[in-house]
Chain A
């Protein structure tokens, strides 16, 4: 594996006067999970669509295993924000259709494989339901099963949970996390920062169609120095406003100045560190105990993310 699995060179896409991708270089090794973050309109989704070959490029090229992928050649699978299931087919048929038409499986083979795939995302019992009879999270899991059934070598997730409520988000993220553990190469666009931080081996911050920051997920989330990225992460953390008000407590050593330390309420950070996390970790900001007392300062966002809705210790199973 001397050449990276995926190489994107100077990707450019311009529509009219709008520069959507402004020269993006990205290379991904096999088995890597790359998280793409950035504000709306920064080009995250456009980058995925360009890699999938759905949108034409006005410059640069994409190589997967040394070849330019053509939509439908089976190299790249994609999971969309809106699921994009076929409403006239049942869950099972959604998964089986391409197996029959593209992989030329018999109806029996395709149905069997579709059932196995649905089982993998925990939906075997709902194989005969149509999309309209499924919850959003279930629909997205069917969409993942449909993508997996074709055995792509790269899966692109385009904001897979953006139209789901927090509970449904969890069931989808769990499936994606499971996939990451199997060594699948994936690009994940998501606003679920905690998830991106924990599942990615590498994170890329995009803004205005450029890569602004790129590096190991830890570095991008913890030691961000780039001002735009800091502002972005700060805005995100402000959303988590339901975090309990920090109680006054003796101020320990604030530790190295990390982004997350900075991200806490201005003024409060140095004087009043949140109660649970010894060093003002995000977990404490989320109102949860820091995942591990040994976690380095501000690093807890990178630990497996405890779901705020389910605090029982079985969650890792």
Chain B
């Protein structure tokens, strides 16, 4: 791999990488928020809510993400829903992430001592305040490694949306491979960029106290 190739390939790949990062961050944020709601539903008193949450989680964890993306890509227009491919892709990625986040959150919230919640209740905190200020931060300590792991999975899984025409990092490297006839170098560079992005995520998830 010579410097001339890198000089030529890097700018488009970095643009693709920026798209990958944005798409993934949006999906992770959506996944976390939706996952919190699903986790709440799965621990709710209502059987209907618990059943719906269980159904959701088993569908999104049980069907391959690529199949989910293709379904969204072909089924939504068929159903008369006309949204840009990028929204459909981010949405699908996020909803899939939500299923995993819900399980992580459910497990994490279960480790919060009930007494901490009772104290909050007696002092007058609302349920929402208790969730955001007490339960979530306490659970976050135990959940952090799992959440970072899930974020890394999504960052890598976002490569699948190249198949529904989004110009992100993988798609860019494919285009580069065919235009330069240097597939090995293109994909090597692409892989290296994913690695760098995920190193950053891992650094965020690094717990200094545990090391």
Residues of chain A at the chain B interface (Cβ within 8 Å): 52, 54, 71-74, 76-78, 80, 82-88, 97-98, 101-102, 143, 146-147, 150
A80 touches B133 (CB 8 A): no
> Closest 6 A-B residue pairs measured CB to CB?
A72-B124, A84-B115, A98-B123, A102-B124, A84-B119, A88-B137
Given A82-B115, A84-B115, the answer on whether A101 and B138 have CB atoms closer than 8 Å is no
A54 touches B118 (CB 8 A): yes
Q: From residue 117 to 173 of chain B, which have CB atoms closer than 8 A to chain A?
A: 118-126, 129, 133-134, 137-138, 141
Given A72-B124, A102-B124, the answer on whether A80 and B129 have CB atoms closer than 8 Å is no
Cross-interface CB contact of A52 among B122, B137, B138, cutoff 8 Å: B122
- Write the chain B residue with the least CB distance to A84: B115
B123 touches A150 (CB 8 A): yes
A1 to chain B, nearest CB (A): 25
Bound-complex Cα distance A146 to B120 (A): 11
- Write the chain B residue with the least CB distance to A73: B124
- Write the chain A residue with the least CB distance to B137: A88
Complex A-B: 25 CB contacts under 8 Å: A52-B122, A54-B121, A71-B121, A73-B124, A76-B122, A77-B122, A78-B119, A80-B118, A84-B113, A84-B118, A86-B116, A86-B134, A86-B138, A87-B138, A88-B138, A88-B141, A97-B125, A98-B124, A101-B126, A101-B133, A102-B125, A143-B119, A146-B119, A150-B123, A150-B124
Bound-complex Cα distance A83 to B119 (A): 9
Bound-complex Cα distance A147 to B4 (A): 69
Cross-interface CB contact of A146 among B118, B123, B126, B138, cutoff 8 Å: B123
Bound-complex Cα distance A143 to B118 (A): 13
User: Which residues of A lie under 8 Å from residue B124 when comparing CB positions?
Assistant: 71-74, 98, 101-102, 150
A310 to chain B, nearest CB (A): 31
Cross-interface CB contact of B125 among A52, A88, A98, cutoff 8 Å: A98
User: Which residues of B lie under 8 Å from residue A74 when comparing CB positions?
Assistant: 124
A101 touches B113 (CB 8 A): no
A54 touches B122 (CB 8 A): yes
B118 to chain A, nearest CB (A): 6
Bound-complex Cα distance A147 to B120 (A): 10
Query: How would residues 95 to 110 of chain B score, 1 for a CB under 8 Å from any chain A CB and 0 otherwise?
Result: 0000000000000000
B119 to chain A, nearest CB (A): 4
User: Which residues of B lie under 8 Å from residue A87 when comparing CB positions?
Assistant: 116, 138
Bound-complex Cα distance A74 to B141 (A): 30
Given A80-B115, A82-B115, A84-B115, the answer on whether A72 and B137 have CB atoms closer than 8 Å is no
B90 to chain A, nearest CB (A): 31
A72 touches B116 (CB 8 A): no
Bound-complex Cα distance A150 to B134 (A): 18
User: Which residues of A lie under 8 Å from residue B123 when comparing CB positions?
Assistant: 72, 77, 97-98, 102, 146-147, 150
B44 to chain A, nearest CB (A): 18
- Write the chain B residue with the least CB distance to A143: B119
User: Which residues of B lie under 8 Å from residue A80 when comparing CB positions?
Assistant: 115, 118-119
User: Which residues of A lie under 8 Å from residue B120 when comparing CB positions?
Assistant: 86, 98
A72 touches B125 (CB 8 A): yes
Bound-complex Cα distance A143 to B134 (A): 15
User: Which residues of B lie under 8 Å from residue A146 when comparing CB positions?
Assistant: 119, 123
User: Which residues of A lie under 8 Å from residue B121 when comparing CB positions?
Assistant: 54, 71-72
A51 to chain B, nearest CB (A): 11
Supply 8 further A-B pairs (C-beta < 8 A) apart from A86-B134, A86-B138: A54-B122, A80-B119, A86-B116, A87-B116, A97-B123, A98-B124, A101-B125, A150-B123
- Write the chain B residue with the least CB distance to A102: B124
User: Which residues of B lie under 8 Å from residue A98 when comparing CB positions?
Assistant: 120, 123-125
User: Which residues of B lie under 8 Å from residue A78 when comparing CB positions?
Assistant: 119, 122
Bound-complex Cα distance A146 to B115 (A): 14
